[in-house]
Amino acid sequence: MTDSQKWLTFVFFLVTGGLIYLLTPVLMPFVFAAILAYLGDPIADRLEVIKIKNFQLGRTNAVIVVFIAIFFIVSSILIILIPKIEFQISFFISNFPKYVAWLNDVVIPWVEQHFGWEVSLIEGDKVIALLKSHWQKAGGGLLALMGSVSRSGAVLAEWVMNLVLIPVITFYLLRDWDGLVAKVHGLLPRRISPTASKLAVETDIVLGAFMRGQFYVMLALGAIYSIGLWFIDLNLALLIGMMAGLISFVPYLGSIIGFTVACVVAVLQFQDAMYLIPVSIVFAVGQSLEGMLLTPLLVGDKIGLHPVAVMFAVLAGGQLFGLLGVLLALPVASVIMVFLRHIHDIYRDSSFYSEESR
């Protein structure tokens, strides 16, 4: 590569990076659509070759089938989960005066007696009013959102556009995915095409392992935590379990947050510290299953990102690009890891590494 080609390559990546940073708010629907298309491509690949008598499904019909299946699954989950979560939260709030009375009559006097601290009594009415206010806002969040959005034509247009663009872009990306990949490959300089193809295959393996496998792990953990907390009759079992599962893409964060919230709710609900034992068992079982069964089975060892690297990637992505950065942090980190492995192999094979000092 000549000096001019190196400078052109540098300028190209510099301009591309600058445009991505400046266009971050606009890129959100495209990123969501690309992720959905990437996740759905293997399913569409399998469906398009299916033959029914003399009729072959084809790519477009396969994509339509995938879209219908995704819509049905997401709609069913929302219809089932939202009413149950709403009922659990309402039930917890209705019993909150009893929890506050127990804290004021039992817990606070015990803390003052044993530790000598002066603890103010909890004003249950104010706490209940605050909780009800937030829950009412949450329950009518969609109406409130629509009301606030309708007061600004620009915000309304952006909100509606994103809502419409994501499925439309996903459909076209999913339909033309293989062709787009082939065209990108065809634009690569011939002398780097073999190396680029090798890196692309490794990247696809890593991304597939992470994005598909980790998604299944999150759902499985959410189900395990929810069922386990339901067995011990915790009021907010479904909400806490699903929250812990969905946050579990950051190592240990989901289990720590879920365990802490579950312990607080268990102590308030049962008014007995002994119930912390079954809560601990539920999260210990979930963590054990994740480490010994779910992650090896669904994700495998192809990613190999250290937990500290995962946490840094998520925090750095959020700091640089906000929600978009958090969304892309781990996939980008996985791709970077593939390139670092390749650079590591080149370094180990180089004379600079193997040459002994004279």
Query: pLDDT tens-digit profile of 11-47?
Result: 777 887 777 777 776 777 888 888 888 888 888 888 8
* Interatomic CA distance for residues 167 and 172, integer angstroms: 9
Cα–Cα nearest to 330, from 339, 342, 318, 341: 318
Cα–Cα nearest to 99, from 269, 352, 308: 269
pLDDT digits (tens, 9 = 90+) for 245-288: 988 877 778 889 999 999 988 988 888 889 899 999 999 999 89
Q: Is the Cα dihedral 188, 191, 197, 202 positive or negative?
A: negative
Report residue 241 as tokens.
């379990």
Indicate whether 114 pLDDT > 70. Answer: yes
pTM to 2 decimal places:
0.69
Per-residue confidence (pLDDT) for residue 323, from 0 to 100: 67
Query: Where are the alpha helices (H) located in the chain, listed in sequence order?
Result: 3-22, 24-48, 58-94, 96-102, 108-115, 124-139, 141-150, 153-175, 177-187, 193-231, 237-246, 253-270, 276-289, 307-321, 323-349, 351-354
CB-based contact 200:231 (threshold 8 Å): no
pLDDT digits (tens, 9 = 90+) for 171-219: 888 888 888 888 877 777 777 777 777 887 877 777 777 777 788 888 8
pLDDT digits (tens, 9 = 90+) for 284-343: 999 898 888 887 777 665 555 666 777 787 778 777 777 667 777 777 777 788 788 888
